[in-house]
Amino acid sequence: MSQHDDRTRHTRRPGLTRRQLLQGMGAASTLPLLGGIAPFAIANGSAGRVVVIGGGFGGATAAKYLKRANPAIEVTLVEPAEVFYTCPFSNLFLGGLRDMRSIAHGYDELRDRYGVRVVHSLAEDVDPDGHRVHLANGETLAYDRLVLSPGIDFRWNGLEGYDEAAAELAPHAWKAGAQSELLRRQLEAMDDGGTFVMVAPENPYRCPPGPYERASLVAHYFSQHKPNSKVLILDAKDSFSKQGLFTAGWERLYGDRIEWVGLSDDGRVTRVDAENLEVETEFGTRHRADVLNVIPPQKAGFIAERAGVTDDSGWVPVKPATFESERVRDVYVVGDATVAAPMPKSGFCANNQAKVVAAAIAAELSGRSAPEPYWTNTCYSLIGPEYGISVAGVYRVQEGVIAEVEGAGGLSPADAPDHIRALEAEYAVGWYNAICQDTWGTSV
């Protein structure tokens, strides 16, 4: 049985503590009895098998916190990439304020310090009845509990003319990595006097304030290097996250460099011509771009659909107290893929949700009931390198649904002096360092 071999190999990895080693060996020695799919009543040291799909904010956190809750749980993390580039702070890269290395993270700590088995492959299918996951590398993993944190996939052609090929000409850069680098190269190559056009999506989508932070930091780059260039945001919404704060910040730092056209002023783009860098709105206005950034409509990562946990919206409804799927037993889903509103689709929320899931699974596997959860979130956005704003929220389950706790959290003040904005920009960096430390524990 290949699983048996893999697990045995896993227990021999260097860097494990003696205790982990013993527990790992215990698990391996029970394997032949398990038959892979037996519901887990597992004796002799293994506290159950959990497979986590996705090594981003939600998945990496879930893997680590499961091990922290109970090192005897066998945790396998499936993630194709060996280096994870965070979307948070990728806008700083686009604005020329950071390099890609500074937003890159790896899996060494999860593997070496926490004893998570990390498999760099893509999960292709889930068999929820058989409690198995099929990987692209041919391996099959059996689980007692499955955690999905696959993030988002794009609805290619959900916006006419915008498909994977178009994204090579008009990047989305809404998953960080090669797309971010492509967009940055285009911005650098653009002649002064050009227009950066951003197509912003309707709700719900990953990171509600993200498009407006990006517009800000591109405007910052222009103000330093291409002073005659403009930013035009064509939006499928009439209002957006922290709108008052963004608008005031834009005026303060960039004058009229940034123009925002909302839904009711014919801002909704309905067709993209990536070849000619041209977009057309619902009422027929055409806009030509020098650099075109299309943030397309989104849905849960495809593996969620394969697991049968999505609804007809393309997102995943979950039980609020545990984030277990409403539809499929023993499958837990966290992060952007879920319907967790009023919690936004943020990395911070994914990290928090993952901790709640880890606690719930660890409790369940040892026959206890899950602790009562609460979640917090802060979204920092940088309007300039020294101009930060934020919105914070605290969430609990109230009357069976996730609700924002009234009076907790809040928004940066509207009329704060510059030094407060500068402090918030510093806090944003502190937040980034802390959450990445908590999630991956490493930079590459």
Partner 1 sequence: MPHPLTRRPLSRRRLLAGAALMALSSLGFSSQALAEGPWQRLEAASERLGDATPATEGLVLELPHVSEDGAAVPLTVRFEGALADDDHLSEIHLFATGNPAPEIASFQLTPQGGLPEISTRVRLNESQEVIAIAKSHRGETFATAREVRITVSGCLMRGDDQGPEALANPRVSLPERFTAGEPGEVRTLINHPMETGLREGADGETLPRHILERFTVTLDGDTAFAADLHQAVSANPYLRFHLSPTEDAEVVFEWQDDSGESARHEASLSLG
CB atoms within 10 A of CB 77: 27
C-alpha dihedral (367, 64, 355, 136), degrees to nearest 10:
-90
Going by C-alpha positions, the residue among 390, 392, 378 that lies closest to residue 420 is 390
Please say whether the beta carbons of 342 and 293 come within 8 A: no
Is the CB of 260 or the CB of 348 nearer to ligand FAD?
348
Is the CB of 108 or the CB of 124 nearer to partner 1?
124
228 binds, among partner 1, ligand FAD, none (CB under 5 to 8 A by kind): none
243 binds, among partner 1, ligand FAD, none (CB under 5 to 8 A by kind): partner 1
Residues contributing to the site for ligand FAD (CB under 6 A): 53-59, 78-81, 84, 87-88, 90-91, 122-123, 149-151, 174, 206-207, 210, 214, 301, 303, 335-337, 345-348, 350, 379-380
**Amino acid, res. 132:** R
Is the CB of 107 or the CB of 221 nearer to partner 1?
107
**Minimum distance, C-beta of residue 22 to ligand FAD, in the bound complex (Å):** 30
Is the CB of 356 or the CB of 362 nearer to partner 1?
356
| DSSP category for residue 19 | H
| DSSP category for residue 255 | T
398 binds, among partner 1, ligand FAD, none (CB under 5 to 8 A by kind): none
Residues contributing to the site for partner 1 (CB under 8 A): 80-81, 122, 124-125, 127-129, 134, 136, 153, 164, 175, 177-178, 202-204, 208-209, 237-247, 263-266, 282-284, 301-302, 306, 308, 311, 313, 317, 327, 339, 341-344, 346, 377, 379, 391-393, 401-404, 409, 411
311 binds, among ligand FAD, partner 1, none (CB under 5 to 8 A by kind): partner 1
The residue assigned the tokens 């052609």 is 157
245 binds, among partner 1, ligand FAD, none (CB under 5 to 8 A by kind): partner 1
**Minimum distance, C-beta of residue 261 to partner 1, in the bound complex (Å):** 12
Handedness of CA 142, 143, 144, 146 (dihedral sign): negative
**Amino acid, res. 274:** A
**Minimum distance, C-beta of residue 30 to partner 1, in the bound complex (Å):** 28
Distance between CA atoms of 433 and 377, rounded to whole angstroms? Answer: 15
Partner residues linked to 103 by β-bridges:
none
Could you report how far apart the first and last alpha carbons of the chain are, in Å?
34
Tokens of 327: 């539809």
**Minimum distance, C-beta of residue 430 to ligand FAD, in the bound complex (Å):** 12
Distance between CA atoms of 232 and 222, rounded to whole angstroms? Answer: 13
**Amino acid, res. 49:** R
Provide the 3-class DSSP secondary structure of residue 420.
Answer: helix
132-135 and 123-127 strand pairing: antiparallel
CB atoms within 10 A of CB 260: 21
**Minimum distance, C-beta of residue 56 to partner 1, in the bound complex (Å):** 12
347 binds, among partner 1, ligand FAD, none (CB under 5 to 8 A by kind): ligand FAD
Is the CB of 68 or the CB of 271 nearer to ligand FAD?
68
Distance between CA atoms of 161 and 157, rounded to whole angstroms? Answer: 6
Is the CB of 53 or the CB of 383 nearer to ligand FAD?
53
**Amino acid, res. 211:** P
C-alpha dihedral (315, 317, 320, 324), degrees to nearest 10:
-100
Tokens of 266: 């014919």
Is the CB of 335 or the CB of 393 nearer to ligand FAD?
335
**Minimum distance, C-beta of residue 384 to partner 1, in the bound complex (Å):** 19
409 binds, among partner 1, ligand FAD, none (CB under 5 to 8 A by kind): partner 1
**Minimum distance, C-beta of residue 110 to partner 1, in the bound complex (Å):** 20
206 binds, among partner 1, ligand FAD, none (CB under 5 to 8 A by kind): ligand FAD
